[in-house]
Structure 1
């Protein structure tokens, strides 16, 4: 029995320092319609999201259209890079990908963030076996989860992601069988 996880990296958002409440931009809101059209054809059984507003906004329409409850799972939130604002994001993100155990002050290492995301993913796979599940999430945590199951998904892959981006991961129990990009902006 195969389980399909549709990982949806949130649509474009308006940058604010408040990670939790950062909303989608006008382009992000437009992209939600396309995401919804695509996912509506996938016979979705469950809709799960990071608690961050931009992730919720990206997939809440598919929950509404399919009359599904939007389940919030905090472990699908984006990795915490640092407790303080980062001056050079490219340098900071490169450093954590170069050394999976390294973390900036108050932030999560790749290893710690991956462990959190994979735990949530395994729980979803076990609880909803054989179902089609949308997971609204973020680029870094999504790729860290994918990387756990297949090392081909790493930093270079992350750099090529769109915003939004949708990947369908097909599992047999907890073994990844197939990965397909569904849509990229």
Structure 2
């Protein structure tokens, strides 16, 4: 069995710079707690989105296991729109209701899901029977989970915490279990 630990980044300080947005003080404190929640499992590999907040969230896990963080560009959060949405809730709802729809300069659910799933399929082949911690983001994480099981949808995304952790177990490329590990 291969276990993927999807770790949604901890709370960050808002800046318009998606790539360099850092964790807030609360986010840093929560990131320290992540290691305790994924143990006693041993982590063999740590990968992350290139975004600073995702990398910072899994740094403690990587340091504990003396691992480098492998960066995957395609784990970055989906771009909803290049212009700030007047009503974010309405914009994200429309994107989920119409999976092939994309706002101007944005990425449809289907396009974001496809790039994220390609990374997961690569990880499942390369790290078969290992435990992989993945620093990621809420929307792309749920889009990936939705590919394997449709119950992971907009309402599921809407109920995520920041951070949040899901241990997802695969037998080959077949999803066989999902368990939430994050506790407030």
Shorter-chain TM range is over 0.9
Contact 1:49–1:55 under 8 Å retained in 2: yes
Contact 1:9–1:142 under 8 Å retained in 2: yes
Deviation, 1:54, is 0.3
Moved more, 86-95 or 115-124: 86-95
Misfit runs of 4+, over 6 Å: none
In 2, the alpha carbon distance for the partners of 1:21 and 1:41 equals: 31
Deviation, 1:37, is 2.1
Deviation, 1:47, is 0.2
Contact 2:38–2:181 under 8 Å retained in 1: no
User: For residues 11-58 of structure 1, what are the alpha-carbon distances to aligned partners after superposition, in whole Å with 9 as ceiling and x for unaligned?
Assistant: 001111110011101100000111122234220000000000000000
Matches within 5 A, 1:79-118: 79-118=78-117
Aligned to 2:59: 60
Structure 2: runs of 5+ lacking an equivalent: none
RMSD (Å) for aligned C-alpha atoms = 0.8
Aligned to 2:159: 160
Secondary structure of the residue aligned to 1:183 is: coil
User: For residues 117-141 of structure 1, what are the alpha-carbon distances to aligned partners after superposition, in whole Å with 9 as ceiling and x for unaligned?
Assistant: 0000000000000000000000000
In 2, the alpha carbon distance for the partners of 1:67 and 1:40 equals: 15
Contact 1:51–1:77 under 8 Å retained in 2: yes
Contact 1:166–1:182 under 8 Å retained in 2: yes
Aligned to 2:128: 129
Q: Tell me the TM-score normalized by structure 2.
A: 0.98
Secondary structure of the residue aligned to 2:181 is: strand
Q: How many residues in Structure 1 have an aligned counterpart in Structure 2?
A: 184
Q: Tell me the TM-score normalized by structure 1.
A: 0.97
